[in-house]
Structure 1
């Protein structure tokens, strides 16, 4: 029963983690973190990402322009770039570590302790990747809300709103964190199952030896 639970937890955790990692990679590079609709020109929609700004026109044409110098970017975009790239790297590392530790994977079959530690390390990498994804997404979303409700800006000025990548990033971070937690819990369960049971005669041998000593 415990083995079946571990296998299901590992399969579900790995699936969620990989889905979250792929979604995080997509979130990193798509220019859809923010969107801007101009009331004066409804034929154009502006979108912004970590790397470029794009203009989508009604006829279907899309024109993108990369951001300027890295040092000229706002702090939220600079740190978000670093954290998202870190998340992508940790997600890849988690895949490489957790895969050999899965039950049914033939690697390290003769070393159950190593498989458990690989699974635990992979789960930790996925969990850290999830936090590294949620942090920049939430930071950018928070600043977007502050700018949207800024009373010092006239109402006629267009405001940036959430883009599709914001919601995708939240799901990606949640999937990574949940998948990593499931893998770590299954690794802990594997460790509990590996503990040797006490010998049946060990509990009775001590009283017998004490009796013999007193009889002498």
Structure 2
């Protein structure tokens, strides 16, 4: 495996893992503005854990969701997927660090190290898929309510937390694909066959035997 590919894949996976940690506590997964006069204008925003509101004076009031079972199903699923994404990304980072050629953690068995790095790439891909499914499902529900003319509640728009999640998923998938395909290309290389090495040895041996016979023949005539 090319060490440059390993480093690039590790950086992409690490950035994706960091952005997941940024997206989970981000408050602006969906936002809505209630327009009125200058005094009553307020912004309402939510994420996976709480609902907040701020007025024109800059005062923020947040309220955590009271019950897990009372939440919508997509919010519970998004929570689980984002937490799973963090766990998978951690496994991917550890496996990639062990499997890199410049790392001494996995010993000198480069075949095994390549396979471990490939497993790290699979973890990165799973991390990216979990993140993309979570934020895309959340965004789908926002847009579905927003364009529904019969929806009676507050209509929200997509917040910055979802964009951070999409960036995280894209980086993680790119890093994982780089690792997996790099490891696969290494295994496809044809090894050197034994006869290519031993051919010269046989030839030199036969040459030495011919030299011995020629010496013997000369001595026989003396």
TM-score range, shorter chain: 0.7 to 0.9
Q: Residue 161 in 1 paired to residue 157 in 2?
A: yes
Q: CA–CA distance in 2 between the matches of 1:68 and 1:94?
A: 34
Pick aligned residue for 1:56 from 54, 60, 63? 54
Q: TM-score of the superposition, structure 1-length normalised?
A: 0.84
Q: CA–CA distance in 1 between the matches of 2:188 and 2:56?
A: 60
Residue matched to 1:81? 79
Residue matched to 1:170? 166
C-alpha distance 142-63 of structure 1, shift in aligned 2 (>3 A) = same
Post-superposition Cα deviations, 1:131-181, rounded to whole Å, max 9, x if no partner, equal 000001111111111111112137xx6410000011111111111111111
Q: CA RMSD in A?
A: 2.0
Q: TM-score of the superposition, structure 2-length normalised?
A: 0.82
C-alpha distance 203-110 of structure 1, shift in aligned 2 (>3 A) = closer
C-alpha distance 19-201 of structure 1, shift in aligned 2 (>3 A) = closer
Post-superposition Cα deviations, 1:16-36, rounded to whole Å, max 9, x if no partner, equal 111111111211121211001
Q: Residue 35 in 1 paired to residue 10 in 2?
A: no
Do the aligned partners of 1:116 and 1:191 also contact (CA within 8 Å) in 2? no
Post-superposition Cα deviations, 1:36-85, rounded to whole Å, max 9, x if no partner, equal 11023663211100011112333333222111211100011000000110
Do the aligned partners of 2:17 and 2:168 also contact (CA within 8 Å) in 1? yes
Q: Residue 198 in 1 paired to residue 196 in 2?
A: no
Q: Give the secondary-structure state (helix, strand or coil) at the position aligned to 1:104.
A: coil
Do the aligned partners of 1:96 and 1:122 also contact (CA within 8 Å) in 2? yes
Q: CA–CA distance in 1 between the matches of 2:73 and 2:29?
A: 15
Greater CA radius of gyration, 1 or 2?
Answer: 2
Q: Give the secondary-structure state (helix, strand or coil) at the position aligned to 2:84.
A: helix
1:13 CA drift (Å): 1.0
Residue matched to 1:131? 129
C-alpha distance 201-177 of structure 1, shift in aligned 2 (>3 A) = closer
Post-superposition Cα deviations, 1:96-119, rounded to whole Å, max 9, x if no partner, equal 111111121122232112211210
Q: CA–CA distance in 1 between the matches of 2:127 and 2:182?
A: 19
Q: Give the secondary-structure state (helix, strand or coil) at the position aligned to 1:76.
A: helix
Mapping 1:109-128, distance limit 5 Å: 109-128=107-126
Unaligned runs of 5+ in 2: 200-222
